Each structure stands twice: as C-alpha cells, then as structure tokens.
C-alpha cells in the first residue's frame, strides 16, 4: 500500500457517506454502501485514474447478515496500482441486489452476469442480466455455500439433448467430476481441466 493509496482511502472516507477503510491482505480497500457504489465508482474512474475494472467477485457470508457482498478490483494504468471496493448487497438472502457498474465500466457486463448466475445476485440496471454458464431455467446458484460440491440432479431442459446423450437428468454443474488437468505443457491453455468421466458429453469432449 502506497502513500497515494492511503490518501485515496482517507479522501473517499471523508467525501462519501458511510465509506470506511477495509483491511485486506494486499492493495488498498474501502467499504462502500450499495447506495453510494455508483458515485464512488464514477469518482474512481473520472477523478482518480482507475479506468479499468478488472474483477467483480461475489461472496457468500453464509450465517451472517447481510449474507452476500461483492468485491470490485480497479486498476490504474497511470498510477500502476490496484484499488479494491467492497459493498454489501441489499435485498434478501434469497434475492440479493446491488447496482450494476456496466454503464460505467463495460467490463462489468460479463462479470456481473457470471455472479448473477452463480450467486443469484441481481445487478440492478444491467443492460442484459441473464445466466452465462447455466441454462435460463436452471433453478440453483452453484456457488452458494449450501450447494453441494457433487451437484444436484436436474432435468435437462432440451429433449433432443437428453435423447442424444441418453440422460434425462445430470448432476449439474459438477457432472463427471472431479475436474483435473493433464500434466505436461507449461501453459494452462494447453491443458484445460476436464472431468474424469465425460461420457455424458461424448459428442464434444474426450475423456482423459
């Protein structure tokens, strides 16, 4: 953490209501109430040089209230530094919500869709909030802490897929797990993890 980052934390805490310093293992961070998330994000972009949003990470604090929150990681090319914002979701445990940053940072688009899919966090104001990994009618959010690692047997939504694969249900999304990577090539792109058993998807994948 640099002196400039320390100063930015102090500035944001004094400028915006409810903003406070947050301790994390690296970089500088602040807690921002959801009601002030948009104006803080815009200030970071327009006034403080954090022009890139690199990551949006949902988190499930099961057993706490509020249960869900979101970490935002910003990067400044000018200052060569990162800055982190954390915001608790509003709404309920079943339907958490938080403002979308997609209109300020286009990179938020897919990040927010993935978090909506995996955690059920609704990013209000998102231009096209729909599931990204699971199908639209899928009834669960796989990164919520109550979701079992082995998945939940779920009916396939399309009849012809079920007929071709010979399966009417799959333990989505962990069907065929555990997922492992082949040893050897240095770059991960050359050894993408695959399930040990991919018999449910033989049309497009080859088992290890």
Region 137-149: what's the mean pLDDT? 91
Distances in whole angstroms, Cα of residue 119 to Cα of each of 34, 41, 132, 139, 170: 17, 22, 12, 12, 20
Query: Residue 66, preceding bond cis, omega within 30 degrees?
Result: yes
Contact 71, 60 (CB under 8 A): no
73, pLDDT greater than 80: yes
134, pLDDT greater than 80: yes
Domain range list for the chain: 3-124, 152-201
Contact 96, 67 (CB under 8 A): yes
pLDDT of residue 157: 67
Convert the pLDDT of each residue in 1-21 to its tens digit.
577 888 999 999 999 999 999
29, pLDDT greater than 50: yes
pLDDT confidence band for 201 (50 / 70 / 90): low
Q: Which helix (H) or strand (E) holds 45?
A: helix 37-46
Beta bridge partners of 83: 28, 74
Domain 3-124 has CATH 3.40.50.720: no
Q: Which range scores top for mean pLDDT: 26-30, 121-125, 139-143, 200-204? A: 121-125
Contacts of 64 (CB under 8 A, 6+ apart): none
What's the token pair of residue 29? 């961070």
Q: Which residue has the higher pLDDT, 50 or 136?
A: 50
Of 127, 176, 129, give the one whose Cα is nearest residue 150.
176
- Number of Cβ atoms within 10 Å of the Cβ of 52: 14
Region 50-72: what's the mean pLDDT? 96
63, pLDDT greater than 80: yes
Q: At CA 131, angle to CA 160 and CA 109, rounded to 5? A: 140
Q: At what angle do helices 37-46 and 3-15 cross, to 10 degrees?
A: 140
pLDDT confidence band for 153 (50 / 70 / 90): confident
Q: Which residue has tokens 């040089």?
A: 49
């Amino acid at each position: 953490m640099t002196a400039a980052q320390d100063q930015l934390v102090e500035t944001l805490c004094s400028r915006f209501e409810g903003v406070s310093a947050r301790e994390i293992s690296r970089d500088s961070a602040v807690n921002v109430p959801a009601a002030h998330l948009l104006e803080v994000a815009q200030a970071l972009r327009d006034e403080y040089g954090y022009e890139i949003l690199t990551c949006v990470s949902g988190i499930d604090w099961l057993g706490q209230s509020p249960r869900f929150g979101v970490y935002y990681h910003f990067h400044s090319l000018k200052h060569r530094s990162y800055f982190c914002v954390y915001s608790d979701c509003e709404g309920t445990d079943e339907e958490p919500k938080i403002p979308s940053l997609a209109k300020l940072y286009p990179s938020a688009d897919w990040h927010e869709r993935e978090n909506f899919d995996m955690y059920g966090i609704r990013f209000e104001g998102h231009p096209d909030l729909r599931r990204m990994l699971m199908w639209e009618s899928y009834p669960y959010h796989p990164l919520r802490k109550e979701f079992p690692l082995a998945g939940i047997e779920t009916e396939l939504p399309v009849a012809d897929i079920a007929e071709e694969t010979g399966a009417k249900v799959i333990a989505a999304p962990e069907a065929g797990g555990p997922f492992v990577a082949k040893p050897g090539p240095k770059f991960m792109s050359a050894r993408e993890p695959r399930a040990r058993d991919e018999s449910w998807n033989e049309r497009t994948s080859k088992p290890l």
